[in-house]
Amino acid sequence: MGVFFSIIIPVYNGEQYIKNCLDSIYRQGLGDDVFEVICVNDCSTDNTAQVISEYGKFHQNLRLINHETNRRQGGARNTAVKVAKGKYILYLDQDDVFESGALKKVFSEIRSTEGVDILMCDEVLVEDGKRRTYFYLNNSREEMAGRSFLKKNEIPWAPWLFVYRRDFLIINHLSFAEKVRFEDTDYVINNVRLALRIKYVPILLYNHTVSRYQTSRIESDKNKITDLFKMCNRIKCLAIEEAGIDAETAQIIAGHHLFMYRANILRYWWRLSYKDRKELLVTYKPMLPCKDKLVSFIGRYPRLFLMASTVVKPLLPGLRYVYLKIKDRKSSLL
């Protein structure tokens, strides 16, 4: 049968996580001939590579690739896809694990569908030792084309909740943005829209751990916030491209763009200096026209919004304090 799964793990300074991550793969109950594991070391400065090499002494299907320059998660995944031998690709982060027994279920499901391009699954979110299960049970379980899937179903912005047929990725030249901190949402949307055959199955595949040390922790980091706006802009470009193919799908993709743009403004943008806020507003404009009044105002009157934000910004900590106090009081009365 040959290698069925290629499991791709980008690694960077993950010596404390990677063994647990690998253990979750090799305890799935699949024979080593069914899958391969490709770890791409993105210029770690700790002992990550050594830990993987030691682990590989007991598993001939574990491969380690070392990058000469740091290309971040997107670049590491792209490197692995190019050399992968498996029929299907799965992505796994170094501090996450697969749910016990999940790969056997995915293996059986894919074999029964005979060539599906993408299979979407479910996840467990782990934060502070607590597990929260996320099932997309409102999604249709029928196999359909990607554009129909976008119109009918909810999709997560996480590439690790999908299993991809490798030939589908290669033929369509699908790859991650490189050397940026956020590369996943536009990748997922683009893959789904181009799939000829995609299906959702309620299989708990992935345990995603939320940590304060993760790249996704934004805080007031200008580079991270800028990368968020870059990803939002790539989604906008997908919507514009799709407009000439399928107007309804383009509107759905634009909805993802506008939702993210609004969230970026309200959660992170205001934390930056006046100069940096101005630069982002000028460089990364929202897609217009749109029904969102705030985003529409920002797009049409960026300078006025910038001035208003400068006046309001000093008041935000106090307003947040009052909001949290009211929220805590309501919670205590329940």
pLDDT at 309: 86
Q: What is the value of pTM for the model shown? A: 0.91
Distance in angstroms (rounded) separating the CA atoms of residues 226 and 251: 24
Q: Helix 302-312 crosses helix 274-283 at what angle (to 10 degrees)?
A: 150
156-174 residue pLDDT tens: 999 999 999 999 999 999 9
Provide mean pLDDT across the span 196-204.
Answer: 97
Confidence of residue 194 (pLDDT cuts 50, 70, 90): very high
Q: Mean pLDDT for the chain?
A: 92
Q: Flag whether pLDDT at 141 surpasses 80.
A: yes
pLDDT at 128: 84
Query: Are 146 and 159 a contacting pair, CB within 8 Å?
Result: no
Query: Are 75 and 43 a contacting pair, CB within 8 Å?
Result: no
CA distance from start to end of the chain: 58
Q: Which ranges of the chain does DSSP label H, i.e. alpha helix?
A: 18-26, 48-56, 72-83, 102-113, 146-152, 166-171, 185-194, 222-243, 247-267, 274-283, 293-300, 302-312, 316-333
302-314 residue pLDDT tens: 999 999 888 887 7
Comparing 334 with 35, which gets the higher pLDDT? 35
43-76 residue pLDDT tens: 999 999 999 999 999 999 999 999 999 999 999 9
Confidence of residue 331 (pLDDT cuts 50, 70, 90): low
Provide mean pLDDT across the span 216-233.
Answer: 88
Query: Are 169 and 114 a contacting pair, CB within 8 Å?
Result: no
273-300 residue pLDDT tens: 999 999 999 999 999 999 999 999 999 9
109-140 residue pLDDT tens: 999 988 999 999 999 999 888 899 999 999 99
Q: Flag whether pLDDT at 324 surpasses 70.
A: no
